[in-house]
Homo-oligomer: A and B are copies of this chain.
């Protein structure tokens, strides 16, 4: 049916090893046989079996992504497709495939991760989220699996990671609102189990503290990274006796929800309420008004993670490394700081 290396060898009148050598572009092989073997390959429409090769080479030329068990969460927020895009770009360039671990329905993340790495399906893994005290880190460390975490491991583990300086980034956004005169600033964040939430909350409160404002837990809401959470959170904040005049949202999707709530209640943005998001997703620019948001360079985050992983796959003895991807506040209209003359004031 489908031909194998032996068929090619026989038909070309050589041994399988020779065929394997022309496959690998081995230098010490005569031009004549190389050509002949190549011809036969074409003739037989031969394609080497990647699985067999992986078995003997003990490497699959693939990197695994552990998708959070809630797939919904994963693909509904533009963050993930965008990291994936960065990862894919690097993988593509280096000839690595990407396998999405989805299997083992009903099993927990630890099992899924173990299976993926121990079964030799992939040469390394990228973790797409970092939870507080995440048991996955231990699995990676114990198994000495080349791996990179997108985010910051909360424990002290010997692992590679790529992150933003989230504390600083949140500090910067909060400070931006404070400089615009806001005293009472609310925070709408993701799950408190995520390291990123904790870090951004810390940055937010350190900015308050620096301005002599005491942290008010009533001004903080958190939940999943979905629009509804932003909507409901904003509703709750606006129902407060002393409502905030500015909002730091830890994700653009949350900010969108917050804007929708504010709009329904008749608040004008930015006149009555300033909102700053996080991520600078493509649609932030298209929002009405266009959204001020902290660009964390998600694509670069993905690229860097993949590069780091590939390095550690090729040289397994390399010590763990980490990288910080810079952030950058993109000032548009929702914070009230827009200056239409800026372009002329160089």
With contact pairs A75-B88, A89-B71 given, residues A51 and B54 touching in the complex (Cβ less than 8 Å): yes
How long is the Cα–Cα vector from A231 to B338 in the complex, in angstroms? 22
CA of A98 to CA of B122, assembled, Å: 12
Question: In the assembled complex, which residues on chain B have CB atoms less than 8 Å from the CB atom of A85?
Answer: 71-72, 74-76
Residues of chain B within 8 A (CB-CB) of A103 are 61, 91-92, 95-97
Q: Provide the bound-state CA to CA distance between A52 and B54, in Å.
A: 9
Asked whether, in the complex, the Cβ of A286 is within 8 Å of the Cβ of B102, the reply is: no
- Check A262 for interface membership: any CB of B closer than 8 A: no
How many copies of this protein are present in the complex? 2
A99 at the B interface (CB under 8 A): yes
Q: Contacting A115 at CB < 8 Å: which of B47, B74, B105, B260? A: B47
* Distance (whole angstroms) from the CB of A4 to the closest CB of chain B: 11
- Interface residues of chain A: helix, strand, loop or mixed (majority): helix
Residues of chain A in range 85-130 having any CB-CB distance to chain B below 8 Å: 85, 88-89, 91-105, 114-115, 118-121
Q: Chain B residues with Cβ under 8 A from A54's Cβ?
A: 51
Contacting pair B102 A100 (CB below 8 A): no
Query: A47-B119, A78-B78 given. 13 additional CB < 8 A pairs?
Result: A51-B60, A55-B55, A71-B85, A75-B81, A75-B82, A75-B84, A78-B81, A88-B100, A95-B105, A98-B102, A100-B100, A227-B282, A283-B286
